[in-house]
Amino acid sequence: MNVVLSSLEKWLVFSILHLGPMRFELSPILVYLNFHAMERHCDTAPSRSVPAWMSWILVGWLGLVAAHFGAAAAPWVLLAPVPSVAVGSVARISVLSPNVGGMPVSVIFPERWPARLLAGPRTHAVVLVASAGAAPTNLVAAGQFGLREYQLELPAGVVGECWLELSEAGGQRVKLLVQPAGVGEVVGKPGLPSPEAPRAKRFDPGTNFNADHFLKRHIFGHEPMYFIAGPDSPNAKFQISFKYRLLMTNGYLASKWAGIDDLYMAYTQVSLWELSQPSAPFFDSSYKPEFLYWKPSFWTSGARDWLRLDLQSGFQHESNGKSGASSRSMNMGYLQPTLVLGRDDQWQFKFGPRAWFYLGDVIDNPDIAAYRGYVDLRASVGKYDNLVISAYGRMGDAARHGSLQLDATFPLWRLPGGLSWYLHAQYFTGYGESFLLYRERSDTVRAGFSLSR
């Protein structure tokens, strides 16, 4: 979409883009220009002239622009047409590229745009996804700007005033006001926050309830999900895993007892598959239903969130679904703190020991502790939009039957083509890759793809 700017608006935008960090505080003016130009473009309101006070401000800006004129201007402007949205919903974000030169230019808008959401001391890595039907490339005439609409799925638990910042657009920011759910989307005047809304005590689906959107707001990834294969038998391996939030963050129980909305049910399945054999039978599978408490940012350093502690604790059942001599099953309770060094939108190092105890009998596998022990360690280093290398190890009770698994993943959405998955390579060495043969040692290398990591 191309939107026409008046001469004064054109130089106003040009000036703001050359003011470095000061442009963050001028977003209300950019919002005004967006609504002004959009109204003229859509013919939904009469044309209006720029107020006189903007002209006086422009005079002062021109001197500052001259000092910055040699620097490269940021070509993007980030706007929120509706600055107030409901918690856990999808926010509409506009990205503009003004052409203040004298010649037409071609502007390419990415399909996905990495960004970060700053909510108090917490920083969330998020992604803007282009709305359907919007053209990725605009030919923008002189005195106009290209525009593309994006959607931002707000992370669970984010409420109140926050800033959305593009990672690769000169640090452009826009302010959002995330209201408690049950209020819906509140439209305020451009650049002005909407009034505070009361916390909902009872969920009202309303007439526009969408079951798919409701599900997406409560289901999350848990363990990595992948499909990999290699030359050794069993040659294929896949894992699916997800967790579901049991209580609404804006519900009555969550308002009465802090932290109760951090309770989840989870399910993980790991399967080894003999694809190279006739009829391609499954060699073994582990089924792991789980009830857990998950609290990201249980503790934070407060200094731009560069150091934090995540906490997870729960009860897990594991079984291979077989009977007789091939049956394997156990129950355990565990505690897993994870220390995170680095912000979510930067390179990070994570280190998470997990300790557990066995519940009930382990008659199907009485010596399981000798091979799995009571503690494992997980560590990873990488960046959300780049390579991540992770390690998972356990020693066994006697420190003689340990195992080590190394994984490397790389996001394919960084490459042309728009793929939404990751390249995945895995190396395993030691005991217990399969629950069925937990007493046997194996060494395998597999590669494939993953949906989450």
DSSP 69-90: TTSPPP--EEE-SS-EEETTSE
Which residue, 92, 167, 97, is CA-closest to 130? Answer: 92
Q: Is residue 393 scored above 80 in pLDDT?
A: yes
CATH 2.40.230.10 residue ranges for the chain: 218-452
CATH 2.60.40.10 residue ranges for the chain: 2-179
* Better-scored residue on pLDDT, 102 or 66: 102
**DSSP 8-state assignment for residue 164:** E
- Calculate mean pLDDT across residues 394-416: 90
Q: What is the pLDDT of residues 178-199, one digit of tens each?
A: 887 554 443 333 333 444 444 4
pLDDT band with cut points at 50, 70 and 90 for residue 36: very low
Rounded CA gap, 310 and 106, in Å?
Answer: 44
Q: What pLDDT does residue 188 have?
A: 36
| CA R_g for the chain | 26
Q: Is residue 381 scored above 90 in pLDDT?
A: yes
Residues contacting residue 56 through CB under 8 Å, at least 6 positions apart: none
Q: What is the mean pLDDT of the chain?
A: 78
Q: Is residue 60 scored above 50 in pLDDT?
A: no
Amino acid (one-letter) located at 188 = G
Which residue, 250, 267, 286, is CA-closest to 157? Answer: 250
Query: Which tokens belong to 276?
Result: 């190279």
- Out of 87-96, 223-232, 383-392, 431-440, which region has the weakest mean confidence (pLDDT)? 87-96
Q: What pLDDT does residue 139 have?
A: 76
* Better-scored residue on pLDDT, 42 or 420: 420
The pTM (predicted TM-score) of the whole model is: 0.60
- Out of 60-69, 221-230, 412-421, which region has the weakest mean confidence (pLDDT)? 60-69
Which range, 111-120, 146-155, 198-207, 351-360, is most confident? Answer: 351-360
- Out of 130-144, 277-291, 429-443, which region has the weakest mean confidence (pLDDT)? 130-144
Which residue, 153, 196, 182, 178, is CA-closest to 252? Answer: 182
Which range, 38-47, 68-77, 377-386, 392-401, is most confident? Answer: 377-386
Tell the CATH topology of 218-452: Outer membrane phospholipase (ompla); Chain C (2.40.230)
- Calculate mean pLDDT across residues 24-36: 43
Helix (H, G, I), strand (E, B) or coil at 370: helix
Q: Is residue 279 scored above 50 in pLDDT?
A: yes
Q: Is residue 358 scored above 90 in pLDDT?
A: yes
- Calculate mean pLDDT across residues 256-279: 92
Share of the chain above pLDDT 90, in %: 41
- Calculate mean pLDDT across residues 436-447: 96
- Calculate mean pLDDT across residues 152-160: 83
Q: What pLDDT does residue 171 have?
A: 58
Q: What is the pLDDT of residues 224-237, one digit of tens each?
A: 999 999 999 999 99
Q: What pLDDT does residue 213 have?
A: 83
pLDDT band with cut points at 50, 70 and 90 for residue 22: very low
Q: What pLDDT does residue 206 have?
A: 60
Long-range contacts of 413-417 (CB under 8 A, 24+ apart): 413/112, 414/385, 414/386
| End-to-end C-alpha distance for the chain, whole angstroms | 36
- Calculate mean pLDDT across residues 100-119: 79
CATH 3.40.30.10 fits 2-179, yes or no: no
Q: Is residue 59 scored above 80 in pLDDT?
A: no
Paired with 160 in beta bridges are: 178
pLDDT band with cut points at 50, 70 and 90 for residue 210: confident
Q: Is residue 70 scored above 60 in pLDDT?
A: no
Q: Is residue 377 scored above 90 in pLDDT?
A: yes
